[in-house]
């Protein structure tokens, strides 16, 4: 599902950002690109929230994704969406 405000997250290293505009992109990032050493509680919550959103259930996918990124030490870049 599309998010009203995309998240611009430093996912691939210093200065390498990815714009995450929706839940399906967030889920792919979590499953395929997330650092293996950052698969903690926040990661699991974000993944579950994304799955709930994809099923059409009430969720907190965007908020959970941002929380997981911050817990992993990733920078969320300020932009016109934040």
Please give the pLDDT value at position 82: 45
Model's pTM, two decimal places?
Answer: 0.88
On the 0-12 / 13-18 / 19+ scale of CB atoms within 10 A, 57 is exposed
Cβ partners under 8 Å of residue 7, min gap 6: 19, 20, 26, 62, 65, 66, 69, 76, 81, 82
pLDDT in tens, 36-60: 999 999 999 999 999 999 999 988 9
Helix ranges (H only) for the chain are 23-28, 41-54, 61-71
The proportion of the chain whose per-residue pLDDT surpasses 90, expressed as a percent, equals 78
What is the pLDDT averaged over residues 21-25?
A: 96
């Amino acid at each position: 599902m599309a998010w009203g405000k995309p998240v611009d997250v430093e996912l691939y290293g210093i200065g390498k950002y990815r714009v995450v505009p929706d839940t399906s992109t967030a889920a792919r990032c979590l499953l395929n690109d997330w650092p293996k050493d950052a698969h903690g509680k926040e990661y699991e919550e974000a993944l579950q929230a994304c799955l709930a959103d994809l099923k059409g259930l009430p969720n907190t996918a965007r908020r959970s994704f941002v929380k997981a990124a911050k817990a992993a030490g990733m920078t969320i870049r300020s932009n016109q969406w934040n």
